Chains A and B, each alone.
Chain A
Amino acid sequence: MPYTADKPGITPSAEALRARIPGWGADLDPADRPAFPREQPGIVTGAHWDLPVQQPDPGQRERSVEHRRLTPVFGTAQPLKGVAGAIRRYAYAKYSEGQAAHWLLLVVGDRVDAATAHVKSFTTLRPDNPLTESGVLGERGRRPVASRVGRGRIDLKHAWMDPLLVFGPWVVTAVVAVRLLRRIVRRQMR
């Protein structure tokens, strides 16, 4: 017990560990550890510039208000657009990274983005397919029952929520759409 100065318990000897574990102690000397010290001023990186040249900005690239300038290089994967884009742009323009509103608005933007994308997909030749896109068909041949049952998996306490989270929005959307449609039809029949 740690009530006296000696470290409690028995630690195997270095020889015993070296015999049992391939490579035991190979990096015992911190000098052999590549991340020691963590900061190494002047480390060789391959860069041959002091400041990289600026990547052209194709438009109004959003950026954190904590940045004083657009970074020299940036991703252009999915530019802001639509309602979700407006929410995200507001989050970037208004709030710093230190404010919860910044991140919460970005999460709201994500949900709006996903919902509008699903609705739009029905106007395309490839509408969203919850069966193939959720990967649930991949359960075939991957021991879906044996992987879950009788193995003491504590995540099963909340795993039942997953189908609700995946399919719930579809059901809600369908219910809302049917009610709206019914209301429109009733109005027209009056």
Chain B
Amino acid sequence: MKSEALQELVKTIFDDEKTRRQFMSNPDSVLAQFTLTEQEKKVVLNTHAKLGLVTADSPQLEATLDPTANWHAPIP
């Protein structure tokens, strides 16, 4: 699943301060500007609710990346 609209959304949020602020306060209004599928919208909103913008390592991100999340052991 490659989604150019999803890439464009993330790029705009991270590149443009005004859009970022708008996304933080009213994500739906920003999502409406991009041609995302309903499933993509749902996942973007869920990720935002769970983690906010992932701009640095955080306990929430670490929790999402459960150490046993992969069937391969992590490379030290």
Are A and B subunits of one complex?
Answer: no
